[in-house]
Amino acid sequence: MPFTNKTVLLTGAGSGIGRAAAETFASQGAQVAVADINRQNAEATVSAIRQSGGQATAFVADVSQRAQVDAMVTAVQQTYGAIHILVNNAGIALPSMSILDVDAATWQRVLRINVKSMLLCCQAVVPQMIELGGGRIVNTASTASKVPRWEIGAYCVSKAAVLHLTRCLALELAQYQITVNAIGPGATSTNLRQN
């Protein structure tokens, strides 16, 4: 299996795309660090993976907070020894509203969770990947990162920032044999879109 003996740290893995990705990595032999702000959701993903014969452990963190990210990464390293792949998937959406109606606190919250969290996770994991001689980072963007959508402007801006963050990281980290890519899912039926 392609991910045997590899550890994947996957944020926002308690539901939706993150949970599907966690289950897929585990089915391909990876040890999956299932990170989510919601303990119950993280443990449900771990339970599903273990029932299918995979390896996974739940880790709870608000990935927009540096101290919690650092503690999570340390705990994952203590559990599995190393992090070979980081999947930055945690994110939020907003109810439909004009970008002119988005208040400052909401704007900051979207950027904090959808963009800052990815930077914090990379800053915590990359030094160890450099020591390993390489690694892989995947950031979840969106088709909305390239095509503006009606009344979800703040979300679109945050996902556009994810694309440029990915490009900047890829440029800087290539010298260390660390690849950085983004995926751009379209509309997906998950609890993120239902809220």
Q: Which of 34, 87, 155, 173 is catalytic?
A: 155
Q: 119-148: b or e for each residue (b if 16 or more CB lie within 10 Å)?
A: bbbbebbbeebeeeeebbbbbbbbebbeee
What CA–CA distance (Å, rounded) separates 174 from 162?
Answer: 18
CA dihedral sign, ordered 19, 87, 91, 164: negative
CB atoms within 10 A of CB 157: 20
> Catalytic residue at 80?
no
Looking at the annotation, which residues are catalytic? 155
